């Protein structure tokens, strides 16, 4: 959401258009204040469950020229499918964002329903990730020496580029696009986070 409007006015107009099944989760915002996040940096919304979607929480983060959805998370379920994530985003846009942008003559930018790794990492890193996933035994994750070597090449490549990625996006891509099992995708994310932390610590000790 981008355009010429003060952050205060935009926040006011957004909150004025919140209605069921969405609500402004102000109680959760108060909790975040205790860890140093400013109260004008973001908005938290929740959507109650119905026949079309499970209950979700949505983070709307303020940027220089507007707001951006940074994450959508399940409230009661363990995880959201790719389709559920997109449906929640579309529902939020239709019920709250689009009426606001129309009233204030602002622009709204919607990302593609299905993003590829090239949307959130370099082409080189994306190719390393795809090469690993194409060749790996999806029933054993990265346990085979060749698979582990390709997985480590991807992690090291991202680290060398000093690039951080959203592990939730990575996990959803592994599950929804590459058809890794939930358990295998979670294991890979854990390995990824451990590997990045280890490389960062190594760099700091040199």
For 85, the domain range is: 7-104
Domain boundary among 104, 125, 142: 104
Based on the domain organization, do 132 and 200 belong to the same domain? Answer: yes
More confident: 4 or 180: 180
69 within 8 A of 58, measured Cβ to Cβ: yes
Based on the domain organization, do 29 and 93 belong to the same domain? Answer: yes
Which tokens hold the place of 145? 């020496």
Q: 């358990």: which residue's tokens?
A: 183
Summarize pLDDT for 115-128 with one digit per residue, the tens: 678 888 899 999 99
Q: Is the pTM of this model over 0.85?
A: no
Prior bond of 15 cis (ω within 30°): no
Q: What is residue 35's predicted lDDT score, i.e. its pLDDT?
A: 42
- Is residue 99 a part of any domain in this protein? yes
- Is residue 200 a part of any domain in this protein? yes
103 within 8 A of 14, measured Cβ to Cβ: no
Q: How far is CA 53 from CA 83, 112, 114, 136, 168, in A?
A: 10, 20, 19, 33, 19
What mean pLDDT comes out for the span 151-158? Answer: 95
- Is residue 112 a part of any domain in this protein? no
Number of domains in the chain: 2
CA 12-18-23 angle, to 5 degrees, is 115
Based on the domain organization, do 122 and 41 belong to the same domain? Answer: no
Q: What is residue 199's predicted lDDT score, i.e. its pLDDT?
A: 93
Domain boundary among 77, 104, 131: 104
Q: With helix as H, strand as E and coil as C, how does the chain read?
A: CECCCCHHHHHHHHHHCCCCCEEECHHHHHHHHCCCCCCCCEEEEEECCCCCCCCEEEEEEEECCEEEEEEEEECCCCCCCHHHHHHHHHHHHHHHHHHHHHHHCCECCCCCCCCCHHHCCCHHHHHHHHHHHHHCCCCCCCCCHHHHHHHHHHHHHHHHCCCCCCHHHHHHHHHHHCCCCHHHHHHHHHHHHHHHHHHHHHHHHC
Phi, psi of 78 (to 5 degrees): -75, -35
Q: What is residue 34's predicted lDDT score, i.e. its pLDDT?
A: 47
How large a percentage of the chain has pLDDT more than 90?
Answer: 41
Based on the domain organization, do 100 and 34 belong to the same domain? Answer: yes
């Amino acid at each position: 959401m981008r355009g010429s409007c003060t952050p205060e006015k935009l926040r006011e107009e957004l909150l004025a258009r919140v209605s069921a099944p969405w609500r402004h989760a102000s109680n959760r915002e108060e909790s975040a204040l205790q860890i140093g996040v400013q109260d004008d940096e973001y908005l938290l919304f929740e959507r109650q469950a119905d026949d079309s979607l499970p209950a979700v929480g949505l983070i709307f983060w303020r940027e220089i020229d507007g707001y951006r959805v940074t994450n959508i998370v399940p409230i009661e379920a363990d995880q959201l499918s790719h389709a559920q994530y997109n449906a929640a985003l579309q529902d939020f846009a239709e019920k709250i964002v689009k009426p606001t942008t129309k009233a204030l003559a602002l622009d709204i930018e919607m990302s593609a329903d299905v993003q590829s790794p090239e949307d959130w990492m370099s082409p080189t890193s994306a190719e390393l990730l795809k090469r690993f996933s194409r060749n790996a035994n999806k029933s054993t994750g990265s346990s085979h020496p060749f698979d582990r070597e390709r997985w480590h090449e991807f992690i090291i490549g991202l680290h060398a580029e000093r690039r951080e990625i959203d592990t939730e996006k990575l996990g959803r891509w592994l599950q929804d696009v590459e058809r890794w099992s939930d358990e295998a995708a979670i294991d890979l994310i854990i390995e990824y986070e451990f590997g990045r932390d280890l490389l960062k610590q190594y760099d700091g000790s040199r």
